[in-house]
Structure 1
Amino acid sequence: MDDVHEVSAGGVVRDASIAASIATGQVMTAAASGPAQRLPRAEVTVRRAVPADAPAFATTMATPRAQAMTLQMPLLDVELWREKLTKAPPGWTVLAAEVEGEVVGNLSLFPADPWTRRRAHAYAFGMAVRDDMQGRGVGSALLGKALELADNWLGALRVELGVYADNAPAIALYEKHGFVVEGRMRAYALRGGEYADSLAMARLHPRPPRLPGALAQ
């Protein structure tokens, strides 16, 4: 269950123009939503995404489970993905996961509420893994790298996300990485002709940075 974006504290991006221009376009996180399968773990390389990754991002988001478990609309073309990767908003970090040189997953990490200075310590993320690569550690690799950046380089005290309430594998992944459920949003999004609930989850930095030496006295 290692695999599994409009998100803020309650799971919603409040500026539609920013939501439309985000690098990967999904803020609900996507993971395998079917029965758990024991699959061989892949050797995953996580790197910063580039515009040339647009075709692979589009392919990932066109797979049925990735489509169903995010907020993406169907039939987005490659050029739209290329534009999103080229014009990601300030403060965003977009990661790509490669297996044997092929991009099979992505994650965007971004300020949860860039309009409010008092929430500068909070980040959010959204990710997706191609259907045929779910359950092989791709999601864990992406999330691990994102949390390393958030904890050690971005000054994030809190990382938050929204996930569909019926996406058990994704929820299990996040719990494994220290996230807890903070609330439930009823009829959060229209999905395949039915409204679906979402869970708000968050993780606090397990070891917040301290001042060095005498400054800590």
Structure 2
Amino acid sequence: MSEIVIRHAELRDLDALRQINAQPEVYHNTLQIPHPALEMWEERMKHPPAGRKQLVACIDDVVVGHLALSVEQNPRRSHVATFGMSVCGKQRNRGIASALLSSMVDLCDNWLRIDRIELTVFVDNAPALAVYHKFGFEIEGTGKNYALRDGQYVDAYFMARFKPTAK
């Protein structure tokens, strides 16, 4: 199996990111909508909001996963970050999500002074829940009818991970 390489996203990744997020199995479990425009991804990459870091996972120089980390800009929440992640449907179960999360956790814990990482995940997304639990995320609550998916409202869990305290 080829090595998974994590790096910062670049403009050359635009079309690959659009294609990954256009896959039904990806937008089904994210807040993306079908048929994402290349212009939308150009805007996201060329003019990211303050505090946004974007990582991609590559196998043999092909982008197969994406993680966007947003560090809160409010001074009272500057210790908090949120993220969203997507993995190419054909590349699932190869450790891509774990590789992205590992790099993100290292970035947060050791470089960005982030003590709390938050996420939202649909309650029926078992693979995502498993990998989030693996990295120490815990369910803090449930959002009822959180988002529309395939014409029906779906609940979501609010999860968080705290930086381990030094011993």
Which interval holds the TM-score relative to the shorter structure?
over 0.9
Q: Supply the distance in 1 between the matched residues of 2:2 and 2:97 (Cα, whole angstroms).
A: 11
Greater per-residue strand proportion: 2
Aligned to 1:186: 144
Aligned to 1:96: 56
Q: What stretches of structure 1 move > 6 A for 4+ residues in a row?
A: none
Is 1:128 aligned to 2:51, yes or no? no
Quote the residue 1:118 is aligned against: 76
Separation of aligned partners in 2, 1:95 and 1:195: 30
Q: Equivalents in 1 of 2:137, 2:80: separation in Å?
A: 14
Residue equivalent to 1:31 = none
Q: Alignment partner of 2:112: what SS?
A: coil
Q: Deviations over 1:81-139 (max 9, x none)?
A: 1221111111111001100110011001112x42x321111111111001001111000
The residue aligned with 2:154 is 196
The structure whose RCO (Cα within 8 Å, separation 6+) is larger is 1
1:108 and 2:61 matched: no
Q: Does 1:161 align with 2:119?
A: yes
Instruction: Go from structure 1 to structure 2 and tell me whether the alpha carbon gap of 1:177 and 1:42 turns closer, same or farther (over 3 Å shift).
Output: farther
Bigger Cα displacement from structure 2, 120-129 vs 69-78: 69-78
CA RMSD of aligned residues (A): 1.3
Q: How high is the sequence identity, in percent, across the aligned residues?
A: 41
Aligned residue among 38, 49, 52 for 2:12: 52
What is the aligned partner in structure 2 of residue 81 from structure 1? 41
72-81 vs 166-175, which moves further: 72-81
Q: How far apart are residue 42 of structure 1 and its match?
A: 4.8
After TM superposition, the score normalised by the length of structure 1 is 0.74
Q: Give ranges in structure 2 of 5+ residues lacking alignment.
A: none
Residues matched between the structures, number: 167
Q: Deviations over 1:151-171 (max 9, x none)?
A: 000000100100000001100
